[in-house]
């Protein structure tokens, strides 16, 4: 019968602790079956699962470990592991794993407690919990409005009811002001290669057609049609033509005046620069206008732009748009075309949008994200971000704040 022992060391973190204990294990020629270490604040927790070979003096080894722990003012505990139980644990390594990501301005105990309760109710085992966001300073009562916080939870197993679990996460997100993503942990999750974005109210804060309508004096009429279309109440093509028709006669200079007022969405610049540093390809797939898409392309270094061509003649908007119109179905089609052209599997594609006409491309991508979206879109998208800026997307692919800092130096 093999002897298997779990060794658990805890205490104040300092250089040389792990080396001191593993040197002792080396003297006894032990086999390391599993090992894990974590440091929270300045407290270390080290776990080592060892196999004691026949003939090794386990009792002397344990005494040496206890003496070392006393000398270094740490604690050490031992637990024998039954061989059958160990084999049962090994046989579970083929189980599906998932990643649950919590994103918010501040992670609270209520958020984490609610999420882990749902995890337990679905018979999922938590393997690890890690913080992806950087260390935070203590703030005033109102906190930092631009703060970012992210915790990643790795779980093992299959949920009892995936649909019910996602609904529970959505309810927690709405109540606790937190975004919760649930993804299968696969090689694709860690190796995305293409990100496609909607433009209006996604990469930029405004709806350009509404801004142009304000310039033309038809703001209220166009805004009403836009809102109904974004809620999915109107056919996109018909509503789009109706809105563009209201712009007839607008002078071409209005486009530049609107451009000067446009603000990038929080985190857009940081996200794109980080993606480029990681070798991602990027695209704008927009139901807006190419004039603004090409401006963003030059500003941010976007690789592809597909949007609608606003027809201008003699310096005036004609009220017409060139065919074909980039609607929801066209966005999904373009996503597939770009992925095929770049030799990228659809599972490696991320799509980001806020409106009902973005749902087809969100569904076509391996990771579809509803960004600050309408309730209908959030409900029908697999993932959503509402509490952070666009750079929160980096957390969903496992990029830590310290990784971003290194990439953007």
Which of 280, 113, 134 has the alpha carbon at shortest distance from 196?
Answer: 280
- CA–CA distance, 217 with 228 (Å, rounded to integer): 20
Name all domains of the chain by residue range, CATH numbers in brackets.
3-91 (3.30.70.260), 96-184 (3.30.70.260), 194-208+262-407 (3.40.50.1000)
Res 109: pLDDT: 96
**Bond prior to 308 in cis (omega within 30° of 0):** no
Per-residue confidence (pLDDT) for residue 230, from 0 to 100: 62
- Among residues 376, 377, 351, 363, which one has the least CA distance to residue 199? 351
**Residues designated as active site:** 198, 200
What's the pLDDT score for residue 36?
92
What is the per-residue pLDDT for 375? Answer: 86
**pLDDT at residue number 143:** 63
Contact between 145 and 105 under an 8 Å Cβ cutoff? The reply is yes
* pTM, to two decimals: 0.88
pLDDT tens for the chain, residues 1 to 409 = 579 999 999 999 999 999 999 999 999 999 999 999 999 988 999 999 999 988 888 899 999 999 999 999 999 999 999 988 888 888 777 678 999 999 999 999 999 999 999 999 999 999 999 999 998 777 655 567 778 999 999 999 999 999 999 999 999 999 999 999 999 998 898 899 999 999 999 999 999 999 999 999 999 998 888 777 666 677 889 889 999 999 999 999 999 999 999 999 999 999 999 999 999 999 999 999 999 999 999 999 999 999 999 999 999 999 999 999 999 999 999 999 999 999 999 999 999 999 888 999 999 999 999 999 988 898 899 999 999 999 999 999 999 999 999 999 8
Strands 304-308 and 194-197: unpaired
């Amino acid at each position: 019968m093999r002897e298997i022992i779990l060794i658990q060391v805890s205490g104040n973190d300092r250089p040389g602790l792990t080396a001191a204990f593993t040197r002792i294990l080396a003297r006894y020629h032990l086999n390391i079956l599993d090992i894990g270490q974590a440091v929270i604040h300045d407290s270390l927790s080290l776990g080592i699962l060892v196999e004691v070979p026949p003939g090794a003096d386990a009792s002397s080894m344990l005494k040496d470990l206890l003496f070392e722990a006393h000398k270094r003012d740490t604690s050490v505990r031992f637990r024998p592991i039954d061989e059958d139980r160990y084999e049962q644990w090994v046989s579970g390594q083929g189980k599906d794993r998932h990643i649950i990501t919590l994103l918010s301005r501040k992670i609270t105990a209520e958020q984490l407690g609610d999420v882990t309760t749902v995890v337990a109710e679905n018979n999922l085992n938590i393997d690890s919990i890690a913080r992806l966001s950087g260390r935070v300073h203590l703030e005033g009562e109102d906190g930092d409005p631009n703060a970012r916080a992210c915790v990643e939870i790795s779980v093992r197993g299959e949920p009892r009811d995936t649909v019910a679990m996602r609904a529970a996460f959505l309810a927690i997100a709405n109540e606790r002001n937190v975004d919760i993503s649930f993804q299968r942990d696969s090689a694709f999750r860690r190796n995305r290669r293409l990100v496609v974005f909607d433009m209006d109210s996604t990469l930029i804060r405004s709806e350009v057609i509404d801004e142009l309508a304000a310039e033309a004096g038809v703001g209220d009429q166009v805004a009403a049609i836009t809102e109904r279309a974004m809620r999915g109440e109107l056919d996109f093509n018909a509503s789009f033509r109706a809105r563009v028709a209201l712009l007839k006669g607008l002078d071409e200079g209005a486009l530049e005046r609107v451009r000067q007022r446009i603000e990038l969405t929080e985190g857009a610049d940081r996200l794109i620069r980080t993606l480029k540093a990681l070798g991602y390809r990027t695209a704008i797939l927009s139901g807006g206008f190419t004039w603004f898409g090409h401006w963003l392309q030059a500003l941010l270094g976007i690789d592809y732009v597909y949007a609608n061509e606003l027809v201008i003649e003699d310096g005036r908007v004609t009220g017409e748009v060139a065919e074909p119109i980039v609607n929801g179905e066209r966005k999904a089609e373009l996503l597939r075309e770009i992925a095929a052209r770049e030799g990228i599997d659809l599972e490696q594609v991320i799509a980001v949008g806020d409106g009902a006409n973005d749902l087809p491309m969100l569904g076509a991508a391996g990771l579809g994200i509803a960004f600050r979206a309408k309730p209908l879109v959030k409900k029908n998208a697999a993932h959503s971000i509402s509490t952070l800026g666009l750079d929160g997307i980096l957390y969903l692919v496992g990029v830590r704040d310290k990784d971003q800092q290194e990439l953007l130096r």
